[in-house]
Each structure stands twice: as C-alpha cells, then as structure tokens.
Structure 1
Amino acid sequence: MNGKNVPDDGSRRVHRPPPVAAALRERLRDTFWFAPTAGLVSVFALWWVLVDLDTWIVTLLKREGAYRELEDLLAFATDARTIVTTVSAAMMTFIGVVFSISLVAVQMASGQLTPRVVRIFVRSRISKLTLTVFLATFAFSLLVLTSYEGGAQPDLRRVTSVPLLQSLLTLLLVGLSLLLFVAYVSSTLRLMQVGPVLDHITRESLRALARQPDGEAEGRVPDPVTARLVHHGRAGVVRDVAVARLVRRARRHGVVLRLVPRAGDFVVPGTPLFTVHGAPAPPARALRRTVAVGVERTPYQDPAFGLRQLADIALRALSPSVHDPTTAVQCLDRIVQFLSAAVTMPLATLHHRDRRGDVRLVRRVPGWTDLVDLAFEEVRGCAADSPQVTRRLLAGLDDLLLLASEERRKPLLRHRALLVEAVERTAPGAVGRAFALHPDRQGIA
C-alpha cells in the first residue's frame, strides 16, 4: 500500500503533527535552572524600571514644591531600609535551610519508592516557583540597597530618588515568599506519601496516552526501503521526537521516514535510526536534532514509562527487604486505571501526515500486549506468596476482561492463568489457595 495515499475511512482523523512548542515546553520542565534564571533576569529589568519611576516621582514632587510629602516618602523608605537589609542578609540562609530539607525528602522518597520519582520533584511547579521567588527576593533586596542615598537624614533639596516603589515591591516579595514557603512545605510532604506520587505518575501517563494520535494496522509500511540512516550522536535513551520538523523535512524531500527505535529505547552510535521510503535519503543535516537522546526516559511521548514506574514501585514493595503488599495493591489500582483507558485505544504504528494528508513519518508505539506484559509480568512473578496482591491482581484482570474486546482478551487471560498456576504451586492447602484466588479490589477487604 502506498503510504502517500492512505485513505480516510471516517473512523479515524487526519492527524497533524504536534507543535514544536509542546516539545520545547516539556524539555524546559525537565530542567531546574530555567525558571530561576528567568526570574533573576526579570527582577533586574523590573528594578531598572522602578528606579526610573521612583526618580520621576521625586522630580514631580520637587517641581510641585511638595516637600512635606517628599519628607514622608523619605521617612517611609528609611524605615523600609531596615527590613530590606534584614531580608538581604537572611534570605540566602533561609533558601539553604529549606532546600537542604527538600533534598533529604527527595532522598527518602527515592529510597522508599523508586529513584525515578526524583523527576517528579524536578518537574514540580511549586518547587521552581518557590526557588524563583526566593532568589528574586534576595537579588532585588540587594539592588534596592544600592538605590538608597547616603546619610541618616539626607538633604531634601539634594535628594534625586527615593526607593519608594522598590521598597514596596520588596515587602510584597517577602510576603509572597512566606506564602510560597507554606505551600512548598505542604507540597513536599504530600509528595513523600505513596498515594499522591502514584496519582501524579498515573495522571502524567494518561496525558501522554491521550496525546498519542490514532494509528493504523501494525506493519503497513509505505513503499520499499530506499535508504537507511544510523544514529551518529551520543548514546542514550530516545526521549522525544521532533515530529513537526520531521514531517516538514520529509515533505520537502518527497520521502516517507520510518523511525526505527521507539521512545524509551536505548541507542548507540551506529544504531539504525530511520528507514527512508519513496525517494533518496535527505542529507544528514536536514534531520539533525530531530531525535532527542538523553540519559533517562520521559513520559511526554512514552506512555509506557508510567507503567514502568508503577511496576518498579510495586516490585520494591514486594521485595523481601520491604514487604509492603499494601503499596503494591495501590500500584495495581493505578495500573488497572491506566490499562482501562488504553484498552479501547488503537495502539499501533502511528502515521503522521502533512497538511495535504500525505503520510510523512511512521513511528512505533507499544501495543496492547506490550503494555499488559509490562504491567503484570514482573509483579505477577513476585506476588504468588502474597494473598493480598493476588486477590487484587485477579480483580483487576477480571475488570479489564469486561472492558476488553475479543482480540485484546488473550494477554489478560494468559496472565490470569499464569497467576492461578503460580498460586496453586505456592499456597499451602486448598483453603489457602481458595482464599488467595478470590478476586478482591481491596486485596483483603
């Protein structure tokens, strides 16, 4: 079948590639330096504007001869100077103490759950906002101190600027810092709990799943392969693909590109990256920086990464050193929630189209069987001697069987049969086996 003329049957939409800004936004969210840096630059620019405004206010009052009002402003600014000086001296110490406690909290969460939850703290908006406001308050207070003119009682006729607006903004930033401190501590304590962490992972995975466009049948690749392109960059995990850019460049060169690795695959130099269909391969520079490779996976174009995290947390909870089956049951709750959303979705090869509706980029995503195996294979192998987990796992499989179509029931039935077989080998006595094999959504209600 020629991929350039794939017919639309009305059951699926003609999908446009995601905007470039979405991928850029996700990359910036994975950094911790961008928001504080932007905040410091903004504070400096704001201080520059306020200096001019304060100078204009003083000039206007002197022109109007309002020296009484100018004296009141100067008295207020002098009183505020004490607060600004105190803030500038104490803010960096405050920042150090707060974020030292936060690093301890992150270490505890990663040790109890999985190291991959550290990414949740890095992407936390409240963490970045708090650090940004703290640093902005410290930097702004230092800048304001340079605006005060010397002398305890400066001559009103020689005063050129009174940092009125600057002092008011400093006080406002101090108040905002205190409010954010309370919100930040509350958010950090919440993320140290199992339930909120699992909920965050699940919601992020569901958003990534919803971003996946509908696909066509697996393996329907357009046109014979005319060229193969290999990876020349550093070794790492495929984090995201610049879909819009690839679609434009494939259209410009009249080809169809097929991305060989999936999001989350580890690639090394020389690994096949693209196959080209329909025309000679575009020059290497045309496809430069279209596939982002990093040191760890992200859920932006990789919904299976969320299942990987949930399974990891469940496996650690079931390990003999931890032995926390209740946490494993909470993970299974979220795994079933994710699979119930994916059970009706067309999981297959994704065909991205240009504005004319022609296929320009083909890339693979995990199929239904892949997701089910990722969710249950390892957890099932460790759950046979924990009745609480086996009962919850059976209830989850039964719920998914009710939602799944006939062709998607097979992997669920396979995992159910393997679980029953493992419990029958492990559980002592017929009564114990019957108890462990009784489906229960709470594990042991």
Structure 2
Amino acid sequence: MSDRRYRRPRALSPLREHLRDTFWFAPTLALFLVCVLWGAADALDTAILDGLQKAGEYSTVRSLIGVAEDAKTIVTTVSAAMMTFIGVVFSISLVAVQMAAGNFSPRIVRVFIRSRISKLTFSVFLATFLLSLLVLTSYDSETNPRQVASVPLVQSALTLLMVGLSLLLFIAYVTQTLQLMKVGPVAARVTKESFHVLAKMPVQRADDTPLPPEVARVRHQGRSGTLRDVHAARLMRVARRKGVVLRLIPRIGDFVVPGMPILAVHGEPDRVPSRWALQSAVSVGVERTFHQDLGFGLRQLSDIALRALSSAVNDPTTAVQCLDRIVQFLAALAARPLGAVHHRDGKGDVRLIQDVPEWGDLVDLGFAEIRGFAPGNPQVSRRMLAGIDDLLGLVPPERREPLDRHRALLVQAVERALPEAAERAFALEPDRQGIG
C-alpha cells in the first residue's frame, strides 16, 4: 500500500507537457489573442466615436484625432522596427543556446525551449508587431470630425502598452539567458524539473496482491523512438471499463521499435481492450522528456559532469557542482519507496502498473560514469566520497549496498591511479567542496 496519499493522474497532463516542449504553441496562441484584443479595442473606439458624434462633441473628436495622429508616428515606428528587433534578439539567443549545448550537453537545449520567459517574450514581441499592423489599418485619412469613421485611440494606447511590456520582458529575457549560460543555474533548473517529476509520481510500496494471469500483449506500432510518457488516465479508464489490469512493459525513456511489446493485459481473455485504444495512449518521440521520466534529470547532470571532465574541457569544478545536485536529488529519494507504481481507480483497485527505476539504478546513474574520471581529479573523488558518506547516513540499511559498492570501487580506482601515499590520502579525504 502507499505510504502517502495517492493522486490519480490528470487527464490533460501529457498534452500540457508536450505543449511545453514545443515553441510554436505560445506564439500562435498570442497571435490569435491579440487579434481578438484588437477587435475589442476597435469596437470600443467605434463606440466612443459614435457617442461623441451623436452628442455633437465635435471639438472633442477633433482633439482625439490630433492625439491619434501623434500616436500614429509611434505606431508606425514600432511596426517598422519590431520585426528587425525580434530577428536580432533571437539570433543572439540561438548563438547562446548553441554555446550552452556545446559547453554542457545537447540535452540542455530543452531547458531553453521549456523556459516560460523565452516563450512569453517571443509571443509578446510577435503580438506587438501584429497589433501595430492592425492598428495602422484603422487610421482614417479623413480629418473632418463630422465625417471621420475611425479614431483608433484605444488601439494606439494598447500598442504603446504592448511596447512597454515588450521592453520589460526583454530585460527579463536577457537576464535569464545570461543565467542559463552558467552551470550553476542550469544544474539547479534540471534538479528543479526532477523534483517536479518526483512530486507528481505516485511512488508506492510494492503491492503483494497477485496479478491476474496475463492474457494478451499489445505490441508497438508506428515509428521507432523513445517512450516519452503514457496517458495513465486514459489507460485506467479503459482498464476499468473492461475490468482488467494493464502493465507497462518498458520503462519511460526506453527506446522502442515496431513489434516490441509495450503493454501486458491481465484479466479475462474475453475482456481484452481494443489495441487501438491502448496504443493511442502511449507517446513515442525522438528524445526523452521530464514528464514521467524519473532518471532523466540524473542523466543530464551526469552528461554535464562527463563533458566537464573530458580532456578537451578539463573543468572538475563543474563536475563538483553537478555532484552537489546529484547528491541533493538522491537524498530526497533516500527513504522514499521506489519500484512499480500502482495506479488505482476511484474504488482503490489497481488498473495500471508502471515500472520506475529502483534505488540502485538511480545511484548507478548518478555515480558510475563520473566515478571513472575521479582517479585523475582529486577534487571530484573528494566530493564524491563526501556525497556517498552523506547518503549513507540518510538511507535505511537495505539501501546501503549500492553506495558501499561505489565507495569501494572509487577507493580502489584512486589507489591504483595514485602510487604516492600522500596523494592517495589527499584524494580519498571526503570534502563537500571538493578542494575548498
């Protein structure tokens, strides 16, 4: 049974996460909304003008025409400059993303793609450009207050407001882009995403209730790719209607090819759900995502550390910063139940079983590859030993074995690589900062 309150998966969760991994949805939505906003502002301008003309306030209409004509110069300038500004800003941003991918890991590019500030800035820039074009179409060449048909005063004010918002977002965007070019904020962002996955995942203790016999397997159809996530809510609805239990065979993050079994059906042979209904609930893409992948954050942190420790870069301090975050994440999992996730329906019956990495798998993912570079980098070996010792003080006895194994292997590797006793003693002294 679960050691914490179980939360059923939300139906729109996969769609929301997939949209966060795209860069087209937010700008497209912003362009649509700005068209609606312009239509409302145009109707308001028309209503104000009609009211003044009917009331005979022609002097007021003449004043509004003068104000609108003054604003037209600004709107025209904004329309001409905004697209050029967008091109220059995001060209520089692409260079920054390329540098970050080269210095850290290609998988870090998704941090920029998922950035809310980046999407909001791009969306507001495009919306401001489109709004300025729409407002220019509303200006009337007629200057007679009795015959003028349009005075886009509200629209012009709205354009100026959007320009001000664009400037503020530009400052925030540049600040965030500069932060994401540094390893500390990048590692912190990856760790934060990992904790979001952990918070949403109903990790439970193993259920001793035996499964019904397996009666069918659903094989993957379609393109090859990485299993990104499964629509757990949909699969649970299908399983509840048929009275069966579904079991996900591969883990999230595994590479699947056509013909590979992805779901096992447990229950009565005559109640097997439609294969299309099951297949459509499984999402396969070209790369892993954070949505349901518990180990993806550790994978990225390890990649950053390995690149930093390569002979071409030789930056052990970056590797130590990654180890800090690896230890932080593993410490949060130290006493948490891991293993198969049992998704339950409203009555408490298990309907979907999903495998997640065990404690040993996550420890290996965090330490195994980095440990291979530690003998030649005392800063890394000292930090890793300190991190393992800290984790040994947090985990229950049954979880000590993977940590003890990595500690012993690290000590053996350092002893083989460093023949001098003084150097060995220095490299094997635990230090949370590596070397001060």
Class of the TM-score when normalised by the shorter of the 2 chains: over 0.9
Tell me which residue corresponds to 1:102: 93
Answer whether contact 2:117 2:172 (CA < 8 A) is retained: yes
Q: CA deviation at 1:201?
A: 0.2
Answer whether contact 2:229 2:292 (CA < 8 A) is retained: yes
The equivalent position to 1:68 in structure 2, one of 47, 54, 59, is 59
Tell me which residue corresponds to 1:300: 291
The equivalent position to 1:253 in structure 2, one of 212, 236, 242, is 242
**Structure 2 length as normaliser, TM-score?**
0.98
Rate the CA distance shift 1:13–1:340 in 2: closer, same or farther, 3 A: closer
CA distance in 1, matches of 2:31, 2:382: 54
Secondary structure of 2:342's counterpart equals strand
Matches within 5 A, 1:88-127: 88-127=79-118
Tell me which residue corresponds to 2:189: 200
**Structure 1 length as normaliser, TM-score?**
0.96
Tell me which residue corresponds to 2:166: 177
The equivalent position to 2:180 in structure 1, one of 166, 191, 195, is 191
Q: CA deviation at 1:221?
A: 5.5
Answer whether contact 1:259 1:364 (CA < 8 A) is retained: yes
Answer whether contact 1:242 1:291 (CA < 8 A) is retained: yes
Q: Which runs of 4+ in 1 moved over 3 A?
A: 218-221
Matches within 5 A, 1:32-431: 32-151=23-142, 154-217=143-206, 222-280=211-269, 281-431=272-422
Secondary structure of 2:375's counterpart equals coil
Answer whether contact 1:88 1:142 (CA < 8 A) is retained: yes
The equivalent position to 2:9 in structure 1, one of 12, 18, 38, is 18
CA distance in 1, matches of 2:187, 2:89: 25
What is the identity percentage for the equivalent residue pairs of Structure 1 and Structure 2? 63
Secondary structure of 1:409's counterpart equals helix
Map Cα deviations across residues 293-326 of structure 1 (whole Å, 9 max, x no partner).
1111011101200000000001011111110000
Map Cα deviations across residues 45-67 of structure 1 (whole Å, 9 max, x no partner).
11111111111101100111111
Q: CA deviation at 1:114?
A: 0.3
Answer whether contact 1:204 1:299 (CA < 8 A) is retained: yes
Matched, 1:441 2:432: yes
Q: CA deviation at 1:210?
A: 1.9
Number of matched pairs: 434
Answer whether contact 1:219 1:349 (CA < 8 A) is retained: no
CA RMSD of aligned residues (A): 1.2
CA distance in 2, matches of 1:206, 1:192: 22
Extract unaligned runs of 5+ from structure 2. Answer: none
Map Cα deviations across residues 338-389 of structure 1 (whole Å, 9 max, x no partner).
0000111100101111111111101100000000001111100111111000
Matched, 1:27 2:18: yes
Answer whether contact 1:253 1:282 (CA < 8 A) is retained: yes
AA aligned to 2:172 is A
CA distance in 2, matches of 1:12, 1:336: 23
Q: CA deviation at 1:79?
A: 0.2
Secondary structure of 1:425's counterpart equals helix
CA distance in 2, matches of 1:43, 1:21: 25
Once the two structures are overlaid, the 10-residue window that deviates more, 105-114 or 63-72, is 63-72
CA distance in 2, matches of 1:428, 1:60: 93
CA distance in 2, matches of 1:159, 1:106: 50
Q: CA deviation at 1:214?
A: 2.8
Once the two structures are overlaid, the 10-residue window that deviates more, 284-293 or 434-443, is 284-293
Q: CA deviation at 1:440?
A: 0.2
Extract unaligned runs of 5+ from structure 1. Answer: 1-7
